[in-house]
Amino acid sequence: MKPNRIRRIFHIKKLSLTAQIGIALVLAVVAGVLLGDQADFVNQYIKPIGTIFLNLLKFIVVPLVLFSVMAGILSMNDISKVGRLGFRALLYFMATTLFAVTLGLVVPSLLKGFFPLIQISPEVTTSTVDAPHLSVMEQIVEMFPSNIIAPVSSMSMMQVIVIALFFGIAMVHVGEKGEMARKVTLSFNDVVCKILEYIMALAPIGVFCMMTPVVVDNGPSVLGSYAALLVLAYLCFVIHAGLVYSSTVRLLGGLPPLKFFKGMQPAMLFAFSSDSSVATLPYTMQCAERLGVSKEVSRFVLSLGATINMDGVAIYLGVTSVFMAACCGIDLTMNQYLAIAFASTVASIGTPGIPGGSLALMAMVFASAGIPVECVAVAAGIDRIIDMGRTVMSVTGDASCAVVMQRFVGGR
């Protein structure tokens, strides 16, 4: 038999990224169950590999955002086009976030008589709350860096985007004098994309090593007494995706919802396993571009969305606030609902796109509504699991915006 025929007989089609990540997730669950009594081994030898992979993604995110935003502006050439795109994207993000917060408050309020509550100790329910001052202007001031190094080292993504906007717009305005800077920027952008390819090749291994410790730590009874909070949160996630994202990509983006969600599967799976919208950004960009979104639109909108659009966080903060208030025997008033809505909206904009980034802001939301801040410790027990779902929501919301914006700026 000829060698070529033998190769054709035994040829195995390379698995897609979706299949590879899906298999890694299944293997991680199986390994987590089998190694349930070997937590020390898993945390010492498996978890560090996942941490390395996540660190590599975080390492490439800042240069990716910095150079991709500048490259996107340079490819547009028309500054007014950048301004219109950014303004429309901001309106879209704000609209979906407000809907997410409302949903996160309404659904648990309607169902709170049907779910079992977690028993909170009397010390917690009677503790005093010191509400921190929440200033919108302080949030705006934080967007603008005082130097060029600190935002890069601290991964302050909003400040990185502001830096990229200033440099990108300036390079377009100076014309021929900025040609050298333009070429260097585009060259660095290509180099960063190549490094990204190297890192993405490790995705299945990274997913397996990140998920296995989660299964080992929580065990088969992972839901336990937190089942109601899990169901509430994920129910709101599904409703939000089904109502908001499906309708917007169809009506405003001209894309069938099933095609959109199928095309976003690789990014959604990775977001679920890594629970980091920032780390998932490279995958989100690839999926959006395969759905017909141009590189300049996807990189600009998705970089912006990974920083300020956290619909999943907005939903979760609302759900958790109502749930914990019920656990403490607190009947929320309309003023408290409004306080939660406002605080959740602002907090979701400032949430770091890293695992557990919303926990630090949950205390601020609780305090704004008079819910004992100590309840954050109770909610933290299940935060890692819900964080997976809310990260999927945030990533999917970013991609839906990119699809809609592509329709506005140039069609598909």
* Residue range 90-137, pLDDT digits in tens: 888 888 988 998 999 999 888 877 766 655 544 444 444 444 444 557
218 pLDDT band, cuts 50/70/90, is low
144 pLDDT band, cuts 50/70/90, is confident
Per-residue confidence (pLDDT) for residue 401, from 0 to 100: 92
- 70 Cα distance to chain centroid: 22
Per-residue confidence (pLDDT) for residue 118, from 0 to 100: 59
Per-residue confidence (pLDDT) for residue 396, from 0 to 100: 92
d(CA 186, CA 181): 9
Per-residue confidence (pLDDT) for residue 10, from 0 to 100: 39
7 pLDDT band, cuts 50/70/90, is very low
Residue with more model confidence, 120 or 63: 63
Per-residue confidence (pLDDT) for residue 70, from 0 to 100: 83
- 356-369 residue pLDDT tens: 445 556 766 777 77
Count CA atoms within 13 Å of residue 32 on its CB side.
23
- 304-348 residue pLDDT tens: 787 677 888 889 888 888 888 887 778 888 888 887 887 777 666
- 70-81 residue pLDDT tens: 877 776 655 566
d(CA 70, CA 122): 54
- Residue 240's alpha-carbon distances to 125, 135, 295, 409, in angstroms, are 31, 28, 27, 26
> Residue 410 pLDDT > 70, yes or no?
no
> Residue 354 pLDDT > 60, yes or no?
no
Sorted by sequence, the CB contacts under 8 Å of residue 324 that are 6+ apart come out as 120, 366, 371, 372, 375, 378, 379
> Residue 238 pLDDT > 90, yes or no?
yes
Q: What is the mean pLDDT of residues 142-164?
A: 81
**How is residue 137 written in tokens?**
């202007």
> Residue 222 pLDDT > 50, yes or no?
no
Closest CA to 401 of 291, 239, 262, 266: 291
Q: Where are the domains of the chain?
A: 16-409
Closest CA to 275 of 357, 380, 213, 362: 357
d(CA 158, CA 140): 10
| CATH H superfamily, domain 16-409 | Sodium:dicarboxylate symporter (1.10.3860.10)
> Residues 270, 275, 281, CA angle at the centre, nearest 5°?
60
Residue with more model confidence, 142 or 406: 406
168 pLDDT band, cuts 50/70/90, is confident
- Residue 333 φ then ψ, to 5°: -90, 170
> Residue 11 pLDDT > 50, yes or no?
no
d(CA 309, CA 328): 30
Q: Cβ(164)–Cβ(69) under 8 Å?
A: yes
Report the share of the chain in percent with pLDDT over 70. Answer: 76
> Residue 2 pLDDT > 80, yes or no?
no
Query: Look-up: residue for tokens 């990540």?
Result: 21
Per-residue confidence (pLDDT) for residue 128, from 0 to 100: 42
Per-residue confidence (pLDDT) for residue 240, from 0 to 100: 94
